[in-house]
Amino acid sequence: MKILLENITKRFGGLVAVDGLSLEIEDGEIVSILGPSGCGKTTTLNMIAGFEYPTEGGVYFDGRRVNDVHPRERNVGMVFQEYAIFTTMSAYDNIGFGLRVRKTPKKQIAEEVVRIARSFNLEDALHRNINKLNLSELQRVALARTLTIKPGILLLDEPLSNLDAQLREKTRVELKRFHDRLGITMVYVTHDQIEAISLADRIAVMKLGRLQQFASAETIYRRPSNMFVAQFIGSPPSNLVRGRLRRADGRYYVERGDFRLDVTMHKRAIDQGGAGDEIAVGFRPEDVELSTGKGAGRLPRGSMSAEVYAVEPLGDETILDLKISDTVVRALVSSEVTMDAGQKASFTVPADRVNLFDMKTEKNLFAA
């Protein structure tokens, strides 16, 4: 099913949980709603499910307005963070729950439950004591239960947050495979960007009830719509140097202390963006190029010299914190580069890979 959220706002008393959110989710798409806690992502999910009604705006499924439709009639499935397994019932009864509520004949329920249990590798778990099932099994029971009623939309509220790292990765892959098989529309709420990036076709980044950006992971990564998204996405997050624009001899520079970046190539965007002199420059740690300065002794153009402030080895890569004036620039380099804190280092930032933000509006000057 196709989901359309049209300018929805949800207020709880004086608190605005969701503020003028519009999203259009295509049939069969996986969309992640990503954001820090309190950003309104779960409220948004609850409005799609029908547990909350929007104060303003409309929720449409395949063009039908469902604002006033009770959750039981929306034909959606939901997997909850704590799985919401009925511990008073067996796994079999949990999975067959929706069919039983719908008064499906017993024989048909049995067939359906066994069929779906098989596809989730749960045949052994069906009649075991539900309290003895492990997390992964419980999670699959929760998923199987929502799917027996053949929902048009599957909502997932941080379904992996209770699993350990290894199981989380495995389940993520399973979810993806499962989606490929069913082609069901999925809305996935998470605060974990790796989950969002690896699972979703498109990601909706939210902050304080407002949608920040709704685009593919690639776009969000390369062209964050504003300073918040730039700093929220990526691990380690983007560098954001809040500087001043200086024009000299027809060339444009962003400067902050000794940090100085030639951004002349973005002259048009800067001039047309109508930004003032206060511009922040954002760039990925992996785009920072380190020039050790050894050997020939000649540094490439635009090099800045800094002091190594901290070294964080990650295994195959290392994060270097480079201090330049009052700014710390993080660089992600190969672990073959060996440096110690206190050492001098030079680096360049490729101007064609940066994003420029108007510090007043916090918006990306390159954003469409």
Partner 1 sequence: MRKAPYGEDTRLAKTLRYLAIVFITLVTMFPFFWMISTSFKPVKEWTPPKPVWVAHNPTMYNYLTVFLGPGRAKGGWWASDEGVRDVAEKEGAKVSLTGESSIFVPFMTSLFVCSCATFLSISIGTLAAYSISRYKFGGNFFSFFILSARMFPPIAVVIPLVVMFSAFRLLDSYLGVIIVYTGFTIPFSVWMIKSFLDDVPHELEEAAVIDGMTNFQAILKVTIPLAKGGIAATSLFIFILNWSEFLIAFLLTSTRVMTVPILISRYFSTTLGHMYGPQAALGTIATIPVIIFGFIIQKHLVRGLTFGAIKK
Asked if residues 115 and 121 have their Cβ atoms less than 8 Å apart, the reply is: no
**Least distance (Å) from partner 1 to the CB of residue 164?**
11
**Least distance (Å) from partner 1 to the CB of residue 179?**
19
Say which amino acid occupies 336: E
Asked if residues 201 and 183 have their Cβ atoms less than 8 Å apart, the reply is: no
Contacts of 122 (CB under 8 A, 6+ apart): 91, 95, 137, 140, 141, 144
Strands (DSSP E) along 302-354, which ranges? 304-313, 317-324, 327-334, 344-348
- The smaller minimum CB distance to partner 1, of residues 85 and 122, is found at 85
Spatial separation of the C-alpha atoms in residues 158 and 136, rounded to whole Å: 14
- The smaller minimum CB distance to partner 1, of residues 70 and 268, is found at 70
**Least distance (Å) from partner 1 to the CB of residue 182?**
18
- The smaller minimum CB distance to partner 1, of residues 64 and 72, is found at 72
**Least distance (Å) from partner 1 to the CB of residue 26?**
22
Contacts of 113 (CB under 8 A, 6+ apart): 92, 95, 96, 99, 126, 148
Rg (CA), the chain: 25
**Least distance (Å) from partner 1 to the CB of residue 96?**
10
- The smaller minimum CB distance to partner 1, of residues 87 and 272, is found at 87
- The smaller minimum CB distance to partner 1, of residues 13 and 315, is found at 13
Q: Which of 221, 258, 242, 233 is nearest to 356 (CA)?
A: 242
What is the 8-class DSSP label of residue 226?
Answer: B
- The smaller minimum CB distance to partner 1, of residues 148 and 355, is found at 148
Binding site for partner 1 (CB under 8 A): 49-51, 70-72, 74, 76-78, 80-88, 97-98, 101-102, 131, 135, 138, 145-146, 149, 162
**Least distance (Å) from partner 1 to the CB of residue 161?**
9
